[in-house]
Structure 1
Amino acid sequence: MARYTKRGKVWQYEISYKSKDGKYKKLRKSSFPKKSDAILAASEMEIKLGKGFAVNDKDVLLSDYFRQWIEIYKKGKISDVTFLKYENILMNIEKYFKYATVKSLTRTRYQEIINQFSKTHATPTIERFNSTIRASIVNLIDEGVIPLDFTKNVVIKGETEVKKEKDKYLNFLEFKRLMKSAKSRINPKYPSNFMIFIAGMTGMRFGELLGLTWDNINYDKKYINVCQTWDYHFNTGFAPTKNEQSVRKISIDDSTLEALSNFQAEQTKFFRSLEMINRHHLVFSNAVTQAISNNAINKQLSKLCKQSGIDTPLTLHGLRHTHASVLLYKDVNILAVSKRLGHKDLSITMSVYSHILKELEEKENKHIASILEEI
C-alpha cells in the first residue's frame, strides 16, 4: 500500500515492497504537482512490482545492452559473416537510439524512432531490425528489468522502394544470351567471365564459387561437389558452407563439363607460362590476387549484360535467382531446385520464389481446366 506526503509544493509517494532477495524495501518518488498524479504513478509502479519489475536494476543504453547481448549470445556461435550483420544492426541502434535506455523506451517512443529509420530503409530491412531488437530484449522482460515488450505491435512500413522482383532475374531468352556471351569470352587470364558462366549453369553462391577447387569436379559422374566456401569478407581462406544442406552435389551437363575441362587445361598452361603455382587448386584463381572480389565480378556481369543487350540490373546473386527461376519455369520440381540451391529447407525456396510459383499455379489451373473439359 502506498503512502502519500506533501513536501513543499509537490507530492511524494512511498511504496513498501519485497525485493527478489526477500528483503523489504521502500521506493520513493516525488515532484508530482498534484496528489492525484502521485496516486496514478504509484498505482502504475505497484502493478510493475506485482509483475516482478526490477525497479532497482541499473538502467543502460539500448546500444550498450545490445552490444553485450551479441557478445554473449552470438559471438563464436554464428559465422563471422552473420556476426557482421548483428554489428551492422548495432551501428543503426547507436545512430537512431542514441540516448535511449532500456527503461525509458515506451511503445510510442520506439514507434517514433522506427518511423525515422523507415524513411531511409525498405520494409524487409526494418522487419529484420525490429525482430532482432525484439529477440535481444526477451531476457530483460523475463528478468523483470523492463515491464513490457516495447517492440510489440510496432507498425512497419519502409519508405524506400524494395528492388523490384523483375530486376532480380532474367527471363529465359535473356539468360541464354548472357550464357552464350560469357562462354564465348572465357579466358584464364580473366576468370570472371567463366565464373559468371558456371554461376548461371549451377546457381552456386559467390562464396561457393570462390571455394571451388578442381578436385571438386567429377567428370565421370558429371557433378560439382560443393563442400566448402572461400571467406571473401576477411580473406582467411577456406570456410564451411552456409548450412548443412549447402553441402551438395550439383549435376552438370556435358557442354558445361567440356567448358570446365577446357578451362582447366588453358589455366594450367597460363600459370606455367607465368611460373605461377595455383597453391589452393582454385577453379577461379586470379593470377594476381588469387580470389576474385565481389565488386569485380558484379562489374564484369554488368558489362556482359550490356554487351548481350540486357537492360536488367543484375548481380551475381541475381544470376542465382535466374538459374532457379529458369528451372521452375521449365517445370523442374521445386524440391529438386531447393536441393540444388542448397536451401536450408523448402519453405525458404517457396518464400523466395513465391512470385514465380503463383504464375506457375495460374498456368497449372489452365492445364487442370483443359483436362476436366475433356471429361
Structure 2
Amino acid sequence: MARFVKRGKTWQYEISYKDENGKYKKLRKSGFAKKGDAIAEAGEIEANLAKGLKVTSKDILLSDHFEQWMNVYKKGKVSDVTFRKYKNTLMNIEKYFTDDTIKKISRTHYQEKINEFSKVHADATVERLNTQIKASLRNVIDEGVIPYDFTKGAVIKGEAPSVDEQDKFLNFSEFESLVNLAKERLDPHFASRFMIVVAAATGLRFGELLGLTWDHVDLDKGTIFVDRAWDYTETQDFVPTKNEQSVRKVPLDAETSKIMQSFKSEQRKLFQKMEIKPKHDFVFYNAKEGLISNNAANKKLKELLRQLEIDTPLTMHGLRHTHASVLIFKGVNIMAVSKHLGHKNLAVTMEVYSHAVKELEEREDEHIKSIFDDIYKS
C-alpha cells in the first residue's frame, strides 16, 4: 500500500515492496504538484509490481540512455538521413533534459520540458522528439528499470510557426502548368529543369533523384529502378534507400520517357564534346557544376513558379507531395500510392495525405450513395 506525504508545496509517494530476493524495500518519489498526480503514478507502479515488474536501482541520464538506444537499435537499421534525425533528437535531449535521469523524471517534469521545447519549435518537431523518446523507453520499462512511461499522456503543441498544409502542395491546375513550363527549353548544360520534370512525373525523393544513374532507367519498358539514394549532405556518396519499402520500380509515362530519351541523347553528345566524364553515369548532372544541389533545384523551382505567378512556397519535397496528391485526386488506390512512393507502411501515407484522402472519401461517399440509388430504381 502506498503512503502519501506532503512536503512543503509538493507531494511524495512511498511504496513498500519485496525485491527479487524477498527483502522489503521502499520506493519514494516527490515533486508532485497535486496529490492526485502522486496517487495516479503510485497506483500504476503498484499494478506493475503486482504483475511481477522488478524495480532496479539502475539510473542513467536520459541523454545517455537515448544515445545508447539509438546506436544499438537504429544505427545501420535506418538510412543515414533518418539516423541524423535521431542524432538531432539527442542534441535536443542534451539541451533540454541536461541533468534528468530516466528514473527521476516525473510526468509533470517531462511535460514542463516539452512545454519549454514547444515554445520555439513547430508541432511536427515536438511530436518527433516525444515519439522518439517514447520509443527508447520500451525496453527499460519491460526490464523494470523504470516503473512507468513518463511520456504517457504528454500534450504536444508547438508554438513556432510551421508551413501551412496547403502551402506544401499545388492544386492540379497549377501542377499541370508547372510541368508544361518546366519541360520547355531543356538544356543538357543545366539539369535543374529536367530534374523538376522527372520529379513531378515520378514523385522520387530528392536523394533518389540525385543518385539516379542511366543504367537504372529502362526507357523501353518505362520504369525506373530505385535501390539507393545519394547522400548530398555528408558523405557525398551512394547510401541505401530510406527503408526496405523504398526499393521499388517506378513507372514512367510515355511522354516523360520521350523527354528523358531526348535529354539523354543531347547529354551524351555534350559530355563527349566537352570531354566530361562523371565518376558515375548520373541522370541529373550539370556540365560545369556536376551534381545539382538541393538549393539550386529549389531556386529553379521557385523561378518557374514566379513565372506562372504561383505564390505557393513549394520545394522539391513539396513537389513530391504534390505528385502524390494528384494521384490520390485522380482516384489511384491509396495502397498503390503508398507503394509507389516507397513509404514504410500505409499509415505513413494516410497521415501525410490525410487532406487528399478525406476528399477522396467524400467523393466515394457520393459513389456509394449512387450505387444504392440505382438499386432502388431497378
Q: TM-score, normalised to structure 2's length?
A: 0.82
Q: Report how far residue 23 of structure 1 moved.
A: 8.9
Deviations 1:328-374 (A, max 9, x none): 22223333322322223333322222211211222233344445445
- 2:316 paired with 1:316: yes
- 2:88 paired with 1:98: no
Distance 1:367 1:145 in 2: 54
Q: Which residue of 1 aligns with 2:126?
A: 126
Distance 1:342 1:353 in 2: 14
Q: Report how far residue 161 of structure 1 moved.
A: 3.9
User: CA 1:174 to 1:199, structure 2 compared with 1: closer, same or farther past 3 Å?
Assistant: same
Q: Report how far residue 16 of structure 1 moved.
A: 10
Deviations 1:209-244 (A, max 9, x none): 111111222222122222322222323422222233
Query: Does the Cα contact within 8 Å between 2:169 and 2:314 map onto a contact in 1?
Result: yes
* RMSD (Å) for aligned C-alpha atoms: 3.1
User: CA 1:360 to 1:134, structure 2 compared with 1: closer, same or farther past 3 Å?
Assistant: closer
Q: Report how far residue 188 of structure 1 moved.
A: 1.6
User: CA 1:106 to 1:252, structure 2 compared with 1: closer, same or farther past 3 Å?
Assistant: same
Letter in 1 for 2:256: T
Distance 1:143 1:87 in 2: 25
- Segments of structure 2 that go 5 or more residues without pairing to the other structure are 2-14, 29-38
User: CA 1:77 to 1:347, structure 2 compared with 1: closer, same or farther past 3 Å?
Assistant: closer
Q: Which residue of 1 aligns with 2:238?
A: 238
What percentage of residue pairs aligned between the two structures are identical?
Answer: 55
Which deviates further from its counterpart, 254-263 or 339-348?
339-348
Distance 1:326 1:221 in 2: 23
Letter in 2 for 1:53: V
Q: Which residue of 2 aligns with 1:201?
A: 201
Distance 2:156 2:204 in 1: 33
User: CA 1:348 to 1:196, structure 2 compared with 1: closer, same or farther past 3 Å?
Assistant: same
SS class of match (1:189): coil
Query: Does the Cα contact within 8 Å between 1:229 and 1:238 map onto a contact in 2?
Result: yes
Deviations 1:77-108 (A, max 9, x none): 33222211111000110111122222321111
Which deviates further from its counterpart, 139-148 or 187-196?
139-148
Distance 2:115 2:292 in 1: 39
Q: Which residue of 2 aligns with 1:8?
A: none
Distance 1:130 1:93 in 2: 10
Deviations 1:57-81 (A, max 9, x none): 3x43221222222223322333222
Distance 1:196 1:313 in 2: 15
SS class of match (1:121): coil
User: CA 1:288 to 1:234, structure 2 compared with 1: closer, same or farther past 3 Å?
Assistant: farther
Matches within 5 A, 1:39-118: 52-54=54-56, 56-57=57-58, 59-118=59-118
Q: Which residue of 2 aligns with 1:36?
A: none
User: CA 1:327 to 1:63, structure 2 compared with 1: closer, same or farther past 3 Å?
Assistant: same
Distance 1:262 1:73 in 2: 46
Distance 1:79 1:158 in 2: 27
- 2:304 paired with 1:295: no
Query: Does the Cα contact within 8 Å between 1:271 and 1:278 map onto a contact in 2?
Result: no
